[in-house]
Structure 1
Amino acid sequence: MKEKPKRMSATMRLRNYFLTGLVICAPLVITLYLTWSFVVWVDGWVKPYLPKAYTPDYYLPYPVPGFGLLIALIVITLIGFLTANLIGRTVVGFGESILDRMPFIRVIYKGLKQLFQTILAESESSFQKVGLIEYPRKGLWSLVFIATQTHGEVGKHVARSGRDPVSVFLPTTPNPTSGYLLFVPSEEITILDMSVEDAAKMIISASLVYPEHGDEPGSESDVTKLFPTQFGT
Structure 2
Amino acid sequence: MKKYLVAGLLVWLPLAITVAVLSWLLGAMDGLFAWVLNLALNVLPDSAKSVVAALIKVPGLGVLVVLLALFLTGVFAANVLGAWAVHRWHAVMHRVPIVKSIYSSVKQVSDTLFSSSGQAFREAVLVQYPRPGAWTIAFVTGKPGGEVVQHLPGDYVSVYVPTTPNPTSGFFLMMPRADVVALKMSVDEALKYVISMGVVAPGAPAPARN
Q: What is the TM-score when the length of structure 2 is the normalising length? A: 0.79
Shift of 1:56: 7.7
1:82 paired residue among 63, 67, 76: 76
Q: Is the 8 A contact 2:165 2:197 kept in 1?
A: yes
Deviation of 1:103 after TM superposition, in Å, equals 2.1
State the partner residue of 2:45: none
Larger radius of gyration: 1
Q: Which residue of 2 aligns with 1:209?
A: 200
Q: Give structure 2 stretches of 5+ with no counterpart.
A: 38-48
Change (3 A) 1:48 1:150: closer
C-alpha distance after superposition, 1:2-54 (max 9, x if no partner): xxxxxxxxxx3xx3222212211121122112212211221121135357647
In structure 2, distance between residues paired with 1:113 and 1:190: 30
Counterpart-to-counterpart distance in 2, 1:37 and 1:44:
10
RMSD over aligned Cα atoms: 2.5
1:135 partnered with 2:135:
no
* 8 A contact 2:112–2:118 mirrored in 1: no
Q: Is the 8 A contact 2:29 2:62 kept in 1?
A: yes
Deviation at 1:108, TM superposition (A): 0.7
Contact 1:128 1:148 in 2 (8 A): no
What does residue 164 of structure 1 align with?
155
Compute the displacement of 1:113 (Å): 1.1
Where do 1:110-125 residues align within 5 Å? Answer: 110-125=104-119
State how far apart, in whole Å, the 1-side matches of 2:131 and 2:20 are. Answer: 42
* CA spacing shift, 1:84–1:203, aligned 2, 3 Å: same
Which of 138, 148, 153 matches 2:142? 148
Alpha-carbon deviations, 1:108-166, whole Å to 9, x = none?
A: 111111122122112233212111122233212121111223344333542x3xx3111
Change (3 A) 1:184 1:157: same
Residues 1:71 and 2:71 aligned together? no
Q: 1:176 to 1:182 in 2, by over 3 A?
A: same
Q: 2: CA distance between counterparts of 1:155 and 1:124? A: 19
- The residue number in structure 1 matching 2:30 is 43
1:197 matched to which residue of 2? 188
Structure 1 residue identity aligned to 2:77:
T
CA distances 1:187-222 after superposition (whole Å, capped 9, x unpaired): 211112222222222322332332223346xxxxxx
Task: Give the corresponding residue for 1:174.
Answer: 165
2:8 alignment counterpart? 21
| Other structure's SS at 1:72 match | helix
Q: Structure 1 unaligned segments of length 5 or more: list them.
A: 1-11, 217-233
Whole-angstrom CA distance in 2 between matches of 1:141 and 1:66: 46
Question: Residue 184 in 1 paired to residue 171 in 2?
Answer: no
**Counterpart residue number, 2:91:** 97
Contact 2:121 2:140 in 1 (8 A): yes
Percent identity of paired positions between Structure 1 and Structure 2: 35
Q: Secondary structure at the match of 2:6?
A: helix
Task: State how far apart, in whole Å, the 1-side matches of 2:58 and 2:10 are.
Answer: 32
Secondary structure of 2:140's partner?
A: strand
